[in-house]
Amino acid sequence: MFQPFKTPNYDNFPKELEVLLKQNEETIEALIEKAEEGYEAFVRPYMETFEKLDLFFTPLSHLNSVENSEKTQKAYEASLPLLSAYHTKLSQNERLFEAFKKVKSNTPEQAEVLRQEIRDFKLSGVDLPKERKKRLEEINLRLSELNNRFSQNLLDATNAYELIIEDPKDVEGMPESDLALAKSEKEGKTVWRFTLQAPSYLAYMTYGPNRKLREELYRAYTTRAPENAEIIDEILRLRDEKAKILWFDHFSELSLATKSAPNDEAVVDFLNALADAAAPYAQKEAERLRELAKADGIEDLQSYDVAFYSEKLKKKELDFDDEQTRPWFEQGRVLRGMLDFVGELFGVEFVEVEVPVWNDKVRVYELESDGEVFGRIYFDLEARKSKRGGAWMHDWQTAHIDERGQKHPASAFVVCNFPPSTDETPSLLRHDDVVTLFHEMGHALHHLFSKVSERFVSGIHGVAWDVVEFPSQFLENFAFEKAVLDRFAIHYETGEPLPEELARKIKKSKNFLAGMAMARQLEFALFDFLLHQKLYQGDEVQKLLDSLRARLSPVKPPSYNRFQWGFAHIFAGGYAAGYYSYKWAEVLSADAFFACFDGKRIIKEKTDGYKRHILQKGGSAPMGELYRAWLGREAKPEALLRLYGLEG
């Protein structure tokens, strides 16, 4: 029952999509007449139209991110208005809304489907006057276009820049693996090319010895896509208008209507409390960086110095450099070791299979338990020019039972941007990369492990946005434990296991400069949330960010830094007035980790319960309810400070 991955016909795709959407509309109109017959006759086949659409559209949206080209862009952009109009028409279909209100549930899962559907109908403006509905439809269409344009501008700007270094002194002391990837030829002479792609950019910012070149690279990175400034203003205007059309005072209230946080005040208080706890640690950490920089004659530590001196400080205080870990983390071995660990932790087996893929570097595994294959996962882990930056999990098929009683398995993609392998060198990961892989795998498990029958609340569907990071953050914590690392940390040349001392340093590095890292994330989260509590335009956006930097940044960024132009999470992703979710969910993940791991051993009874109550339940009940069913209590906020060593 797995859908084989197939490259779409880009030229015909919008037309084919149009036909599918028309078929779905006709199916749904017929189903409305069956609402009186109950859930099985109406809701279940209705959900199946969404699965059918995802199976068709997801390959294109996925390829537009991982094999971006003019063809994918053109097909994708032509499809967005069709999808937006379709979903808007559905969400404002009064007959469909009334049909859902008539249906009675037979199980708690079905009750949750109906609760969420009726809520979402109301939030889409189904019961608004005609003119308001029409305007809302226009706004939703325009927002989808602007989100895509923001993302495309960012990708284009990232790909357009390169820094060519000709003097060997300017790369002196840099890791050989980074130099090998940057090495190029210009007029018969060896040069080094650095770009704004994450692995390349971070390599020079962390190890590049020439301060002027670090600033040049930093300035290029933090001023990418200036055309996004106008897009931001329009996005904010439209979001504010949308909220008011739906009778909310501002967009943050609309955002929270589908999340687990109770109200604006709770979010802001939560973030401010964490900021107050992190601030003294962040200031002390920054002072240590300044002292180190002064030894090099730098009296004014700047943002473009932070990664460089953080690495030097780590070497000085911990005798540790994340680059040291590369030889022990060969990508293929890390992947296999992680799968073996996850398999033992949760009682599943990952079997590699040969199936159609979009790039020859992609690896595919099927998940088996008790002799049953129940999931498939695709790993696309290496950076390339056609792939947008960052790392993510993208769901494709969703586990559910259809109207014929047939079980459907789940499938998902895990995408990263790790250093690519070459003819001379395999893809070698820093420990940070290992953590990223575990994080995205946590998301995938949440989707793939689902045993929920109802598609709309199966896997990651129906999970409140501010707790969706919980399973990913939970799993990444294990990537710091020696017992887990020993499964795959083997030197790629000598075959030696990870030395005890290096494993200890990795664990200690987890909370190195944790106060500064926490302050940075809280700056982003508060900026996002406050930005959506009233309408900000033009210079007001920068002034808000500057005010937060004045309070929260232990090292103030230069005035030219326009971080917001590249803040794709909130202007091209789903995190608008929701970036706080990372910390909100991390309370759950920290508390859950300490419940499952006592510092020496994994408590199997608890991990079994975590799988049963959290991973297999998807969005079938509010996360707080599932958490209480698992541990019999609420998550403890102090667990987050304990995780980062910021307690007391």
Angle at 621 between CA 615 and CA 626, to 5 degrees: 55
User: Helix or strand or coil: residue 36?
Assistant: helix
The backbone region for 260, taken as left when phi is positive above 0, alpha when psi lies in -120 to 50, beta otherwise, is alpha
- Quote the tokens at residue 171: 């790369």
d(CA 115, CA 110): 9
Nearest CA-CA partner of 56 in 91, 21, 11, 84:
21
What b-and-e string marks burial along 576-586, b requiring 16 or more CB atoms within 10 Å of the CB? Answer: bbbbbbbbbbb
Tallying the residues shown for the chain, one arrives at 648
d(CA 580, CA 590): 16
DSSP 349: E
> Cα 365 to the chain's mean position, in Å?
21
**Residue 191: Cβ within 10 Å count:** 16
Residues whose CB falls within 8 Å of the CB of residue 269, separated by 6 or more in sequence, listed in order: none
d(CA 31, CA 43): 8
- Quote the tokens at residue 611: 């799988």
- Quote the tokens at residue 399: 């586990």
Task: Give the helix/strand (H/E) hosting 32.
Answer: helix 13-32
Inter-residue contact 449 to 428 (CB < 8 Å): no
Amino acid at the residue 330: E
> Cα 108 to the chain's mean position, in Å?
29
Q: Is the Cα torsion angle 8, 453, 573, 140 positive or negative in sign?
A: positive
d(CA 25, CA 208): 56
Residue appearing with tokens 């015909």: 12
Residues labelled as active-site residues = 440
d(CA 53, CA 90): 14
d(CA 381, CA 415): 5
Nearest CA-CA partner of 401 in 48, 164, 112:
48
Residue appearing with tokens 């932070």: 306
d(CA 259, CA 138): 25
d(CA 168, CA 165): 8
Amino acid at the residue 372: E
d(CA 91, CA 28): 12
Inter-residue contact 286 to 554 (CB < 8 Å): yes
d(CA 550, CA 155): 30
Residues whose CB falls within 8 Å of the CB of residue 516, separated by 6 or more in sequence, listed in order: 281, 282, 285, 286, 306, 554, 555
d(CA 293, CA 547): 26
DSSP 562: -
d(CA 522, CA 257): 22
